[in-house]
Amino acid sequence: MTSICFVSETGRSERPINDPSVRYRCYHPAEVLVGQGNFVSVYSAAQFYKDPNFDYDVYVFHRPNKARGNFLPILRQLRGAGKTLIADYDDLIFGDEGMALQSSAAKNGTLTPERAIAAFASNLAGLREFDKVSVSTSPLAQRVQQSNPDADVHVVPNIIPPSVLSIHGELATYLAPRPSTAIGYFAGTKSHDRDFPVVADALHRVLMENPDFTLMVIGPVAVPPALAALPNVSTAPVVNFLRLPGLMTLCSTVIAPLEMSDFNACKSRVKFLEAALSGCRLLASPIPDMRSFESESLELMESLDDWYEALSTPVKPGGYPRAEENFEFLRSASHVDGLTTFWSEA
């Protein structure tokens, strides 16, 4: 048995499980590791650095930040005790000024340019303290290697954990009947305000031409007023993640538009995982992690015309034809082999 401690730099310090990034990078792999007979805990960084525990074999630092109080002394103590230390990333949150200003936080005004630059610099300094790094995508691995050339970097893709797959497998959520002309957009955070315009004009045209089509937008994203005013468009606040698959069964198609940038090029295919769990067709921007998934189970939109044509074509009656295939992919991919390699080889 190996003991593993996940430490996440999250704003949800009291309830880190409410942070989608922490769920995918800490809680989901933790569940798999526990299922393999290991002992695993998840801390927020605020909790851990205030009252550190030095008794684990492996420490996975999700989004480590050198500006965090006690960061260097605790790392030195853990390293001196022979612990395995791993930095983990699921977004491009480190780099120079130019990279910082490309981030969604800077573009959407969540951070001022000055604060974004400072955050990226602190994250970069944190990255350079580690010689083992796990990442969610290959493009992100390349960015890590550019910033920390001597690091041993493994790609550990995001997964849906066995407990969630078991529930929705028994319920056959992915086979639930739903309207063939229902489109959904699920934005967990406000960070997608610059992404939605990628598809907004095509959506507006499709919904104007097809009054029997519907669009449901869930989350804090800004919907253009002309689109929000249409009678076949509905909006609602973000929902608890446990409710998401059931809510998505109200849609036959879900969309994942992204502005093409170096920042978004490092993002993962989480939207495909969620669409596959709920049995939806996914229309997505062609980020590398989507493009690398060689399958007809998702459709990549290269242009506004692609978005319009795909959105105008409803899912055939009877549901998405690859729903079972996609769900089986989730089952086969529910492992963290790339992570366990770090300590099994030690």
pLDDT of residue 191: 60
Confidence of residue 129 (pLDDT cuts 50, 70, 90): very high
User: What is the residue-wise DSSP string for 15-62?
Assistant: -GGGSHHHIIIIIHHHHHHHHTT-EEEEEEHHHHHHS-----SEEEEE
H or E stretch covering 133: strand 132-135
pLDDT of residue 321: 85
For the chain, the domain total comes to: 2
Show Cβ contacts of residue 240 under 8 Å, excluding neighbours closer than 6 positions.
none
Residues 94 and 124 in one domain: yes
Query: Mean pLDDT across the stretch 53-64?
Result: 97
pLDDT of residue 107: 75
Q: Residue 345: how many CB atoms within 10 A of its CB? A: 7
Query: Mean pLDDT across the stretch 107-135?
Result: 90
Does 297 have pLDDT greater than 70? Answer: no
Query: Mean pLDDT across the stretch 135-157?
Result: 96
> Is residue 95 situated within a structural domain?
yes
pLDDT of residue 103: 80
Residues 166 and 281 in one domain: yes
Q: Which of 134, 156, 178 is the last residue of a domain?
A: 156
Does 295 have pLDDT greater than 80? Answer: no
> Is residue 343 situated within a structural domain?
no
Residues 114 and 181 in one domain: no
pLDDT of residue 204: 96
Does 2 have pLDDT greater than 80? Answer: yes
pLDDT of residue 186: 92
> Is residue 337 situated within a structural domain?
no
Residues 199 and 142 in one domain: no
Residues 261 and 136 in one domain: no
Residue range 66-84, pLDDT digits in tens: 999 899 999 999 999 999 9
pLDDT of residue 346: 57
Residues 10 and 46 in one domain: yes
Q: Which two tokens stand for residue 142?
A: 């390349």
> Is residue 196 situated within a structural domain?
yes
User: What value does the CA radius of gyration of the chain take, rounded to a whole number of Å?
Assistant: 21
Q: Which of 121, 136, 156 is the last residue of a domain?
A: 156
Does 296 have pLDDT greater than 80? Answer: no
pLDDT of residue 178: 93
Question: What's the CATH code of the domain at 236?
Answer: 3.40.50.2000
Q: Residue 338: how many CB atoms within 10 A of its CB? A: 15
Mean pLDDT of the chain: 92
pLDDT of residue 241: 87
Confidence of residue 228 (pLDDT cuts 50, 70, 90): very high
What are the residues facing 235 on neighbouring strands? 217
Q: Which of 156, 177, 207 is the last residue of a domain?
A: 156
CA-to-CA dists, residue 130 to 148, 151, 284, angstroms: 8, 7, 34
> Is residue 338 situated within a structural domain?
no
> Which domain does 193 fall in, by range?
162-331
pLDDT of residue 16: 87
Query: Mean pLDDT across the stretch 89-101?
Result: 89
Percent of the chain at pLDDT above 90? 75
Residues 124 and 191 in one domain: no
Q: Which of 57-66, 219-228, 261-270, 312-321 has the highest mean pLDDT?
A: 57-66
Does 58 have pLDDT greater than 60? Answer: yes
Does 318 have pLDDT greater than 80? Answer: no
Residues 34 and 151 in one domain: yes
pLDDT of residue 38: 97
Does 149 have pLDDT greater than 90? Answer: yes
Residues 142 and 276 in one domain: no
Residues 187 and 238 in one domain: yes
Residues 49 and 74 in one domain: yes
Question: What's the CATH code of the domain at 111?
Answer: 3.40.50
Residues 102 and 245 in one domain: no
Does 176 have pLDDT greater than 90? Answer: yes
Where is average pLDDT lowest: 54-63, 281-290, 315-324, 330-339? 315-324
Where is average pLDDT lowest: 99-108, 133-142, 332-341? 99-108
Does 242 have pLDDT greater than 70? Answer: yes
